[in-house]
Structure formats: C-alpha cells, structure tokens
Amino acid sequence: MTWMVLRTHPREARVPEMFDASPSPGQTRAPTLPAAQPVPERSAKQRDSFFDNAKYLAIVLVAMGHSWEALYADSRILRSLYIFVYTFHMPAFIIISGYFSRSFDMRPDRLKRLITGVAVPYVVFETVYSLFRDHFGQDGETGITLLDPYFLSWFLAALFVWRLTTPLWKVVRRPLPLALAIAMLATVSPAISNDLDFQRLLQFLPCFVLGLCLKPEHFQRVRTRAMRIASVPIVAGALVVAWLVVPHINFGWFYRRDAAQEMGAPWWTGPLMTLALFACSVVLTACFLAWVPGRRMWFTSLGAGTICGYLLHGFVLKYTRWEGWYDAHWLHSPLGALLVTAFAVTVVTLLCTAPVRRVFRCVMEPKMEWAFKQDPAQQARERQHGGQKQPVREKAGV
C-alpha cells in the first residue's frame, strides 16, 4: 500500500507564511546612495524542508512495508512491525497531500494541473503496470482495465477524486465528522463497486479531509520538544500492542480494501475499526512528524521526487517476488530481513533522485498545452507583457 504521496504543487509547496522567517520583499535605501538597493529576496519557489523530509521518510516506510510482505509470515516481530507501519504510513502521506490541496478550486489552470499531474500519470502507470503484470506476473489477471487500479496506482485515482471534491469540503460546516461518517458507512457496504478501488478511496477519505483542515500552526504544535518526548512512550506502547494483537487481527483492516462482511467480521465492527484506526493513525502520524527534521538534510531534495519513488518501486518489488528472489532460505532470518529492508530503502531513494525525475518528467509532469484551450486571463497577461509568456504554470504532483 502505499499517506503516500506524493510531489506537491510548487506554488502550494512554497513555504507557508508561518514558516517563512525572511523579511517581506521590498527595497531599502542607504543614506549615502541616491538609488534604492534591493534587499535579496527569498525564492518564491523555495520548498519547505520539513514537508520534503516528511514525504521522503513516509515513502521510505511505504517501501519498507512492501518489502516485508514476502517475509513476515515467518516472524512475529516482522508482522508486528508491519501492522505498526501500516497503521500510519499511508495516512501520513495522504494527510500531507490533503494539506497541499487546500488551495484547489475549479479554476481552469488548476483543473489542467490535476489532469496532467494526476489523471495522465494514472492512465500511463495503470496501463504499464497491467502490461508488466501480463508479461512477468503470476497474479492470474490479464488485460488493461483503467477502472480497476492495480497495486500502487489506486492512490492516483483516489487523489484525483479527493482533490475534485475539495471545494465541497470547504463549504460544509463539519467536514471531518462527515468524512468519518462516510468511511464508516463504507465499511458496512460490501456492495460498493470495485471501480477505482472505491472502497479504499472512501475509507482513507478522512485522512485527506483532515489534511484539508490543518493549518501551519498545527504542524508547529507537533514539532515541539515536548511532543518529541511524549512520542517515545506512545510509539513504544503501540509496538507492544502490535505484538499482542498481531496473531488475532485480520490484516485486511489496514489495507482498507474491503467491507467488514467481506472479511468475515460482524457488520458493526466496521464503524468501530474505522474510528479506532483513524485515531491510531492520527496519533502515530503526529509522533512521526514530531521527529521529522525541519532543517535541510541530505535527503531533503528527494522529497520532491516521492511520486516517482512511489510509482516506480512497485516494478522492482513485484519483479523480485515473481522471479523468486525471496525463496532463498537465508532471507527468512533476521539478517535477511535487514538486508531486504536496506535494499528497499536504497531502491526507493534512488528512484526519488533528480536524474530519475528528469527522465520521467514527460509522464509525471506533461505540459500538454496542445490539449487545452488557453485561459483568457493568461492571454490578457501575455498581451499586457508584450506577448511574452508569463511563468504562471504550477505543477500538479502529489
């Protein structure tokens, strides 16, 4: 599975006002100089290191969780770590995606970015994953079906729908309780269509809506010394609980793909598990964010490429499983698990690097100017500046 995420719009990914400690752009005049001397401005497109760090670390957890799926059957410790990570890694990714979707509206330029940055990559990767599965796979499925997301591509389909509904969540009075009610109803509705992995889309919806409701000060409150200290016993307690419940719990609850009845549970457990998992995911996400560095680190720049790492690492993981790489007995040992984990971290890290982003930019960020009518407002701006095209385009990544 993949809270996820994802690359953000450069304009939306700019440093929030609360995080920007630089002075307002302007000019200062030295007493002895007749001309104004401009004060150096902070780049308008400068990214916030905290969020880039958070996205990179979250995608690393996603890759680690996927790499454990072939090994956890032999180790209770690994199974416990697996459900611990799955409790919050995608919720964290989705919450951040929701936070950077707050400014989305039905303005033509933003709709274009939604199509080029989310819908087009979904169509491309859903097609390529289907062909990849048909050639190498052993999943018993064949053919391309754009309505049935395969493996990781569900997130792009969900993000497209979530972002389209953003204006609706902005006008309702209690968006988060409403989203939770929808998710709870989804868990007792086995008749919900599998198209676009709609069950998962609805069950993860509260995480996205929570992100829409957050403000910069909420992240500031999490990033305190007191919260970092408090997170240590919370995480330790969560690991103990995971160890205790792992023999008795159905992992399907963490995937959010099925209704309660489809997992053989009483219908009333669906709403209860929805609330419990949401509460746990929010608490553990807060603990995770409390320890995310706010300064620039060696991996900060990789946060801009998490959508590449997310979508591409699935090919490596699927191929290694289909080719029997995990059949070696020594891999099913503590040392083997550590090596597999290190391999997954290395792969997803490399896939987030700038060279990989440049290669796949034509898919992840296609311009597709030929496909759209030009915005009259943009035409007016160009006429005002003597026909020179203005750099107003924003990326629509995750």
- 248-271 pLDDT, tens per residue? 999 999 999 999 999 999 999 999
State residue 17's pLDDT score: 32
Q: Label residue 252 exposed, middle or buried (CB < 10 Å: 0-12, 13-18, 19+).
A: middle
Q: What are the sequence ranges of the domains in the chain?
A: 58-369
Mean predicted confidence (pLDDT) in 17-29: 36
Residue 378: partners with Cβ closer than 8 Å, 6 or more residues away:
109, 390, 392
Distance CA 178, CA 171 (A): 12
| C-beta atoms surrounding 238 within 10 Å | 20
Q: Which residues pair with 42 in a beta bridge?
A: none
Indicate if the pLDDT at residue 345 is higher than 50.
Answer: yes
Residue scoring higher pLDDT (307 or 395)? 307
Residue 337: partners with Cβ closer than 8 Å, 6 or more residues away:
68, 71, 75, 78, 331
* Phi and psi, residue 94, nearest 5°: -70, -40
Amino acid identity of 382?
E
| Per-residue DSSP letter, 386 | T
Per-residue pLDDT tens for 202-233? 999 999 999 999 999 999 999 999 999 999 99
Amino acid identity of 321?
R
Quote the longest CA-to-CA distance of the chain: 81
Q: Report residue 137 as tokens.
A: 């796979």
Distance CA 80, CA 244 (A): 8
Q: Are 52 and 8 in contact (CB under 8 A)?
A: no
Query: Looking up tokens 């200290």, which residue turns up?
Result: 229
Distance CA 258, CA 260 (A): 7
| Positive or negative torsion for Cα 151, 156, 157, 158 | positive
SS3 assignment, position 47:
strand
Helix axes 269-290, 205-213, angle to 10 degrees: 50
Indicate if the pLDDT at residue 287 is higher than 90.
Answer: yes
Indicate if the pLDDT at residue 121 is higher than 70.
Answer: yes
Rounded to two decimals, the pTM is 0.84
Q: How sure is the predictor about 398, in pLDDT bands with cuts at 50, 70 and 90?
A: low
Q: Are 286 and 211 in contact (CB under 8 A)?
A: no
* Phi and psi, residue 368, nearest 5°: 55, 40
Query: Looking up tokens 């909420």, which residue turns up?
Result: 218
Query: Looking up tokens 């040992």, which residue turns up?
Result: 333
